[in-house]
A and B are shown apart, each in its own frame.
Chain A
Amino acid sequence: MDAEISLRVDGESHRLTVDTRTTLLDALRERLGNTSPKKGCDHGQCGACTVLLDGRRSLICLALAVAHDGAEITTADGLAPAGELHPVQQAFLEQDAFQCGYCTPGQVCSAVGVLDEVDRGWPSHVTEDLTGDVELSHDEVAERMSGNLCRCAAYVNIVPAVQQAGGAR
């Protein structure tokens, strides 16, 4: 069953007709040719499909496109103007925070979301004082990024990259 929806992806507006079963991930990759978000597990378990959906880091393999008509999406590809790098992307390069790169667009979008959540004072599972300040410690970053799996296990460099980007703000 078809439905017509509109999406704003990396600053560009699109109108498209989708089957109600289409996920946002498939709509982006298969229909709009934006292959920045990756399909790892397709079941909400790996984080490779992470984008900023209406400003919040989100998985789009478990999001039906039809349920997100009118959504504003930023993928890793749209974080910075063409030819430039977002501070998180710059930090991933400088810290050598990837190997094969398959998980990286998801890691980068997740990290952008993490830094925003920290700015808002959101606690995490490892925050000692729920009502106190949040520091970007190793444990905080590791906990907050735990939804982004890396098959190459670049974790040891991902954590410092997120800390570097956080400090650079």
Chain B
Amino acid sequence: MKPFSYARPGDVAEAVREVAAEPNAVFLAGGTNLVDHLKLGVATPDLVVDVRTLTSQEVTDLPDGGLRLGAASTNSEVAADRRVRERYPVLAQALLAGATGQLRNAATTGGNPLQRTRCVYFQDVTTPCNKREPGSGCSAVGGYTRYHAVLGVDAALPDPDAPGTCIATHPSDMAVALAALDAQVQVLGPSGARTLPFTDLHRLPGDDPATDTTLGHGELITAIDLPPLPAGTRSAYRKVRDRASYAFALVSVAAVVTDDGVRLALGGVAHTPWRATRAEELLRGRALTDDVVRAAMDAELAAAQPQPGIDGGNGFKIPLVHRTVVATLRQLTTEAQA
């Protein structure tokens, strides 16, 4: 591991100033992703600024009836919070489907959505990877693609040598639920505080795969807000994986059903938690019968690009995520009628 300086400033404002002033500085929260990357040589900061004890660990009620998750609240505390379990089951289920009890006790609200891809080549410093080493190429194209993207990708076999190529997925379960919930991210940066919709936090690779999010250098997540949901809202998270427990998603679905319509986010299929806006449009005002949902998902997935791979590729994700959405919405509508 490369040597680095460690700082635990007095408050968040100072933490932001310290990171902003040092181009090669990073924030540290639970460390379950960052410390792994320090060991692997994937992250090589000169300065690590610890914010775990500076941001709030609390889940608090907001005046509008929503909830504020402090950035240092742990994944396990949030999943166990009564208000989250009762009002935002999709979030509790997503958190409980992620990692393990030990990891959730350390992982935080701020760190979880900012965890980096689990692409095996990204984590292996001996292989080319545009995300880790801009311009070096993408080893995943035609390689191991089982955990890679099918949406937000231009072609079935993008040019592995192009500097913009990256077919990685975002691995967080929590983030998929937060996207479906229309959560808001509270950010403190060198030029002050701002709020951004959670769905604007992550970005597609574009011509800069090294940048996962729209946060600027030195911008700190201080909290994530859950908006209030109308009475009668139903929500659920469904994760499909290679093992019954303790595995990242092959695909996952977060669904929030209100009287007005459905909010749908997909995990394991894209570089971002994927908000299925086309399907949402087609479902608005419609009874959620299997046929209607199928047609909406056909439209959502029309542009999907299955990636061939030495492991058999990931084309299976397209019917899999399609069926997972149908099953999740069927479960929510049956429960509502029961």
* Chain A residues within CB distance 8 Å of chain B: 1, 3, 19-21, 23, 42-44, 47, 50, 53, 56-59, 62-64, 66-67, 110, 113-114, 117, 120-125, 127, 130-131, 142-144, 146-147
Contact = CB atoms under 8 A, between A and B. Distances in A.
Given A63-B35, A67-B28, A131-B82, A144 B101 contact: yes
Interface stretch (B91-99, B154-162, B261-269): B91-99
Given A20-B5, A131-B82, A131-B86, A63 B31 contact: yes
B85 A43 contact: no
Contact of A20 (B4, B52, B85, B101): B4
A59 B8 CA distance: 21
B323 interface: no
Contacts of A144: 101
Contacts of A67: 6, 8, 28, 31, 50, 52
Contact of A142 (B85, B89, B102, B245): B245
A130 B246 contact: no
A123 B85 contact: yes
B216 interface: no
Looking at chain B, what size class is its interface with the partner chain?
Answer: 35 or more
B92 A130 contact: yes
22 contacts: A1-B6, A20-B5, A21-B3, A47-B102, A56-B105, A57-B102, A58-B105, A59-B103, A62-B31, A62-B36, A62-B106, A64-B6, A113-B105, A123-B80, A123-B96, A124-B96, A125-B93, A125-B96, A130-B85, A131-B86, A143-B244, A147-B101
A141 B102 CA distance: 14
Interface string B34-61: 0110111000000010101000000000
A124 B85 CA distance: 11
Contact of A122 (B5, B80, B102): B80
B245 A21 contact: no
Contact of A23 (B35, B92, B99): B35
B107 to A, nearest CB: 10
B98 to A, nearest CB: 9
Interface of B: 1, 3-6, 8, 28, 31-32, 35-36, 38-40, 48, 50, 52, 76, 79-80, 82, 85-86, 89, 92-93, 96-97, 99-103, 105-106, 244-246
B18 to A, nearest CB: 15
Contacts of A127: 96
A72 to B, nearest CB: 14
A56, A62, A110, A124 interface centre (most CB from chain B within 10 Å)? A62
A7 B309 CA distance: 48
Nearest to B106: A58
Contacts of B38: 21
B39 A43 contact: yes
Nearest to A56: B105
Contact of B105 (A20, A23, A57, A131): A57
